[in-house]
Amino acid sequence: MVTQTPETILRDKHFPFNFLVNMIDGGAFGFALGFASFSTIIPLFVSSLTDSAILIGLIPAIHVLGWQLPQLFTAQSVAQRKRYKPMVLLMTIQERLPFLGLGIIAWLVPELGITTALILTFFMLVWQAIGGGFAATPWQSMIAKIVPTDRWGLFIGTQAAAASLFMSLSAIIAGVILERNESPLDFSLCFFMACIGMVISYFALGLTREEDSHPENTTRDTKHFWLNLLAILKRDLNFRRFLLVRVLAQAATMGFAFYTVYAVRHLGVSEVSIGIMTGVMTIVQTVANPFMGWLGDHWIHRGVLTIGLLSAVLSSIIAWLTQSAGWFYLVYAMAGVANVGVWTISLTVTLEFGDDQERPLYIGLANTLVAPTAFIIPLMGGWLADSMGYSAAFVASIIGGLATIFVLIFMLRTPKERAKIVS
């Protein structure tokens, strides 16, 4: 029989309420991103201003780099806190306000001019990404705290499913908006709709119930903090292998950023069809997220992550070989499964490393150390697309996916797997 502490008793008591408000948060956040998708809408907006594949490739690079890079530098502060929610609410404002800026920029493109609009757009993307990065570690730590350990996969998967469900709806609406309105008014309307979703998401997140914890004081000394980080990297070989998986997974999904532009420019796919394809991807994610989260909780997350990488490989193979627009519905569907594996399941596995005190350090390390490659690899994809064609970026993604699968199968065991072996 497992002995419950006062903290776990309160956690379990508040869990149904926290589950509800965080599902609303996830659903509203997904609704917003359907109107301002980093894989479809924003690349299309930037492509209306420039033909540069490198700049288009910068969009996911900035998003991922900004989200990952700051996390290690917030880990010390996060680890000292009794409650994570105040920091989450403060930082996530910076993640949401830039969408209002994008709406204003798109509205004023004729007055601003192409160059100024591009500069301001990328400024907003950097601001949004960094805001998300500063919010990420306290948010992940809060989720690990308020959700029972054996429900992490299901919780994260279900929240991601709620996000995907509403994202699929808003993506289809966005496609209609793009079809029926002239540019840049169409993009401006999409970004303003994203703002509405972000406001609802923020207020739902603010309702989360979090009790005080009792952090240790060992991380207050900066020197000790950095020595502790180095000690983790030195002693935990399995964690280093997980970092390798995270790096290689960036390459596996490199080609995803170019699907929309390739389909529109080379296969003649309409904006409405792009909206429907995005909807297909998000519907697949809606179904796959809770199922793959549950499967990971009851089987092994490493196996589910492998399924995601296989889907990434298949998605890139089809995009590379097909000359028919109809096949891109399958491309987007497989990309949806891949996104669940690479993002949702990877996040869940990250939470397995370390105890309650060390978890913020592991989260910070896992995301910050991967950040440079998360920036460089999409740029490489843009360079390949510009110099050798989009097919080269798709082939590179295939190679990256196969390499990741090799490491997953033959080199990595997740902490839960190792614990089962020991027991």
Main-chain dihedrals φ then ψ at residue 52, nearest 5 degrees:
-70, 115
Residue matched to tokens 């959700």: 147
Q: What is the pLDDT of residue 27?
A: 95
Q: Tell me which residues of the chain have a pLDDT lower than 70.
A: 1-6, 214-224, 356, 418-423
Instruction: Determine the 3-state secondary structure of 342 from DSSP.
Output: helix
Between CA 174 and CA 223 the distance in angstroms is 49
pLDDT of 308-356, one tens digit each?
A: 999 999 999 999 998 888 899 999 999 999 988 887 788 788 888 877 6
Between CA 51 and CA 266 the distance in angstroms is 14
Dihedral (C-alpha) 363, 208, 295, 256: value to the nearest 10 degrees? -60
Between CA 91 and CA 339 the distance in angstroms is 25
Q: What is the pLDDT of residue 382?
A: 83
Which amino acid makes up residue 401? G
Give all domains of the chain, ordered by start, each with its CATH number: 6-210+220-422 (1.20.1250.20)
Between CA 29 and CA 162 the distance in angstroms is 9
* Strands (E) located in 61-154: none
Structure token digits, residue 333:
């569907």
Helix pair angle (85-107, 185-206), 10° resolution? 170
Half-sphere exposure of 92 (CA within 13 A, CB side): 22
* 152 burial level (CB within 10 Å; 0-12, 13-18, 19+): buried
Which amino acid makes up residue 27? G
Whole-prediction pTM value? 0.72
Between CA 154 and CA 27 the distance in angstroms is 15
Q: What is the pLDDT of residue 352?
A: 83
pLDDT of 177-223, one tens digit each?
A: 998 898 888 999 999 999 999 999 999 999 999 887 765 554 455 66
- Alpha-carbon separation of residue 92 from 20, 128, 198 (angstroms): 19, 9, 10
Structure token digits, residue 204:
């739902």
Helix pair angle (271-298, 152-180), 10° resolution? 180
Q: What is the pLDDT of residue 200?
A: 97
- Alpha-carbon separation of residue 373 from 93, 203, 247, 249, 403 (angstroms): 26, 34, 6, 10, 15
Q: What is the pLDDT of residue 218?
A: 47
